[in-house]
Amino acid sequence: MPNVDPLPREELPQYEELFERYDRIRGFLPNSILTMGRRPNIADAFMQLNQAILYEGTVPEDLKMMISLLSSAMTGCKYCQSHMTNLSTVYGVSDEKIRALWEYETSDLFTPAERAALKIAHHGSLVPNAATEADFTEAKKYWTDAELVEIVASLALFGYLNRWNDTMATTLEGRPAEVADRVIGSIGWDAGKHGE
């Protein structure tokens, strides 16, 4: 049960065009957005930031989804893990590659450029932060400084979302729960408080 109920979609008509985009890309409207809608300035700012980080720039969207998934896995947010498993599949990441995400450093499914970006996501999601100069030196072989900003922004966005959804106990929607159960359920998926 959520700590704060999401608003009904109908109470946020000013966002209907954006909500239709969520429906089209994800296949559903996130409860997290409907909860943020109780403070429209927060919902506005979040949706703009989410757009700028995940859907603009030159880092491939599929990699941004994997960065966000790895960051969410590091912090243990099941809500965000399920959402990012869903979005990873939407952006063409194979189920096999999603399941191998913890083996990004050794799996042949990942390119050296992906490994370097995922290492920053992995180390940058730890508390205390463990990202090192060596991580960035390796990543700079493949990514520009502007792209490194996108990579770090992707993991940082999920620092916010992981804390938001775990603290709010946001109710997990059906579609991401089903995709996560299908794709990562065999490696220990547990919907936890978000499955209620």
The pLDDT value recorded for residue 134 is: 98
Per-residue model confidence (pLDDT) at position 100: 96
With a cut of 70, say whether residue 189 has pLDDT above it.
Answer: no
| 3-state SS, one letter per residue, for the chain | CCCCCCCCHHHCHHHHHHHHHHHHHHCCCCHHHHHHCCCHHHHHHHHHHHHHHHCCCCCCHHHHHHHHHHHHHHHCCHHHHHHHHHHHHHCCCCHHHHHCHHHCCCCCCCCHHHHHHHHHHHHHCCCCCCCCHHHHHHHCCCCCHHHHHHHHHHHHHHHHHHHHHHHHCCCCCHHHHHHHHHHHHHHCCCCHHHHC
pLDDT at 158: 97
Select from 158, 50, 77, 68 the least CA-distant residue to 117: 68
Domains and CATH numbers, the chain: 15-189 (1.20.1290.10)
pLDDT in tens, 75-99: 999 999 999 999 999 999 999 999 9
- Using one digit for the tens of pLDDT, what is the confidence trace for 132-151? 999 999 999 999 999 999 99
Tens of pLDDT, residue by residue over 52-81, are 999 999 999 999 999 999 999 999 999 999
Note the pLDDT of residue 196.
Answer: 43
Q: At 60, list the tokens.
A: 């491939």
pLDDT surpassing 50 at residue 27: yes
- Separation CA 150–CA 52 (nearest Å): 9
Instruction: Give yes or no for residue 32 having a pLDDT over 80.
Output: yes
Distance, CA of 133 to CA of 17 (rounded, Å): 42
pTM: 0.93
- Contact (CB, 8 A) for 10 and 29: no
**What is the band of 185 on the pLDDT scale with cuts at 50, 70, 90?**
confident
Q: How far apart are CA 26 and CA 173, in angstroms?
A: 11
pLDDT above 90: residue 8? yes
pLDDT at 156 over 60: yes
What's the pLDDT at 179? 95
